[in-house]
């Protein structure tokens, strides 16, 4: 029974690692709802059809079922997590500004798929440094085992007063190195999970005929209602620049805003890739400061203590 549970847990872990980013699941749902709406299906009925078509194993089935039975779909989606909150904001803004929901969802789907691909690229870039860090963390234990293979009782050496001191210091260094490496890996992750979202929402609002002040008011209300965070200062500046350009050129501002949002996402992806590339170098710092000294304290020092002890006993 225990082996069966262990196998199930291992398969679950592997499946979780191989699962696509959650944002791509949201993109798939947004695209399906958009296609149903283009086919003439009412929004509320589209969620019901989608709920009936999804199996229980589908990661989005629980959220879709809740949306199909909810009176307020955006609020229901927002409660499902940050990735779904983006879809909720798109639906809320398009409804309040009278923008075509299907068009907005198609645009959102493409946006989320681009973000998902960026997350995949970042995860691939971080996989190497993380694996190296975890492998290096095993060096002290390898040192202890190597000493025992050579015939030295390193475990007994760690029980002596000098060995205990080495063991405690080595364990503290290992813990510090692990926490340091984890902190560096977290900092390499992008903080903004949906770059350019506010600019995209402004484009949706303007496509519904809203003015720029009206669009900002609606987006602020939606962000407050759904708990959506964003860099409003940078977004407002980008929107102002694009709208001014559109007015001078006499072209629709919505298309330029979508182009600006795409540029913001490309820049964010580039910064994230650079951060992931720098991580491999930054991980060398805890390696040299913590892990290698811990290897000396836990692997080499007990072996030397064992050699000295055996020499003294022999004398």
Across 64-78, 147-161, 186-200, the highest mean pLDDT is recorded for 64-78
Average pLDDT over every residue of 102-119: 82
CA 112, CA 208: separation in Å to the nearest integer? 21
Of 9-23, 106-120, 148-162, 272-286, the poorest mean pLDDT is in: 9-23
pLDDT at 276: 75
Token pair for residue 148? 């025992």
pLDDT at 55: 72
Average pLDDT over every residue of 296-305: 78
Average pLDDT over every residue of 173-197: 80
Average pLDDT over every residue of 44-61: 83
Average pLDDT over every residue of 99-118: 83
Which residues fall within 8 angstroms of residue 250, CB to CB, at 6 or more apart?
A: none
Q: Does 155 have pLDDT greater than 50?
A: yes
CA proximity to 90, closest of 32, 102, 310, 63? 102
pLDDT at 13: 39
Task: Classify residue 188 as exposed, middle or buried by CB count within 10 Å of its CB (0-12, 13-18, 19+).
Answer: buried
CA 83, CA 22: separation in Å to the nearest integer? 7
Q: Does 12 have pLDDT greater than 60?
A: no
CA proximity to 233, closest of 182, 278, 199, 188? 199
Average pLDDT over every residue of 77-100: 87
Average pLDDT over every residue of 68-91: 86
Q: Does 137 have pLDDT greater than 80?
A: no
Intra-chain end-to-end CA distance of the chain, in Å: 54
Average pLDDT over every residue of 194-208: 85
Across 17-26, 196-205, 221-230, 270-279, the highest mean pLDDT is recorded for 196-205
Cα angle vertex 223, ends 271, 215, to 5°? 95
> Which of residues 133 and 114 earns the better pLDDT score?
114
Q: What confidence category does residue 52 fall into, taking pLDDT thresholds of 50, 70 and 90?
A: confident
pLDDT at 220: 86
Q: Does 28 have pLDDT greater than 50?
A: yes
Average pLDDT over every residue of 236-261: 84
pLDDT at 207: 85
Q: Does 10 have pLDDT greater than 60?
A: no
Answer for the pair 105, 99: CB distance below 8 angstroms, yes or no: no
Q: What confidence category does residue 311 fall into, taking pLDDT thresholds of 50, 70 and 90?
A: low
Task: Classify residue 103 as exposed, middle or buried by CB count within 10 Å of its CB (0-12, 13-18, 19+).
Answer: middle
Query: What does each C-alpha distance from 286 to 127, 210, 278, 314 come to in angstroms?
Result: 17, 53, 14, 40
> Which of residues 190 and 262 earns the better pLDDT score?
262
pLDDT at 312: 58
Q: What confidence category does residue 8 fall into, taking pLDDT thresholds of 50, 70 and 90?
A: very low
Q: Does 67 have pLDDT greater than 80?
A: yes
Mean pLDDT of the chain: 78
Q: What confidence category does residue 133 fall into, taking pLDDT thresholds of 50, 70 and 90?
A: low
pLDDT at 60: 84
Average pLDDT over every residue of 127-149: 71
Q: Report DSSP state, residue 138.
A: T
Q: Does 134 have pLDDT greater than 80?
A: no
């Amino acid at each position: 029974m225990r082996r069966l549970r262990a196998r199930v847990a291992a398969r679950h872990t592997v499946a979780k690692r191989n699962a696509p980013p959650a944002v791509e699941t949201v993109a798939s749902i947004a695209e399906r709802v958009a296609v149903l709406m283009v086919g003439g299906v009412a929004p509320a009925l589209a969620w019901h059809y989608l709920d009936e078509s999804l199996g229980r194993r589908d990661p989005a089935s629980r959220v879709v079922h809740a949306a199909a039975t909810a009176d307020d779909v955006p609020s229901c989606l927002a409660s499902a997590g940050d990735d779904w909150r983006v879809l909720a904001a798109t639906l809320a803004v398009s409804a309040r500004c009278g923008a075509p929901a299907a068009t907005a969802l198609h645009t959102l789907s493409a946006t989320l798929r681009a973000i998902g691909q960026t997350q995949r690229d970042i995860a691939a870039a971080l996989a190497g440094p993380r694996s190296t860090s975890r492998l290096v963390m095993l060096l002290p234990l390898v040192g202890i085992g190597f000493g025992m293979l050579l015939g030295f009782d390193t475990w007994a050496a760690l029980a002596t007063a000098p060995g205990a001191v080495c063991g405690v210091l080595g364990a503290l260094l290992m813990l510090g190195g692990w926490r340091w490496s984890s902190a560096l890996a977290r900092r390499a992750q992008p903080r903004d999970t949906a770059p350019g979202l506010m600019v995209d929402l402004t484009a949706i609002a303007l496509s519904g005929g809203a003015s720029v002040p009206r669009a900002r008011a609606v987006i602020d209300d939606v962000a407050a209602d759904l708990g959506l965070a964003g860099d409003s200062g940078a977004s407002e500046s980008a929107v102002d620049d694009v709208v001014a350009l559109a007015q001078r050129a006499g072209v629709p501002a919505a298309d330029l805003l979508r182009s600006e949002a795409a540029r913001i996402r490309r820049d964010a992806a580039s910064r994230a890739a650079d951060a992931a590339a720098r991580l491999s170098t930054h991980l060398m710092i805890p390696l040299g400061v913590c892990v290698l000294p811990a290897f000396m304290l836990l692997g080499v020092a007990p072996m030397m203590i064992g050699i000295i002890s055996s020499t003294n006993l022999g004398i």
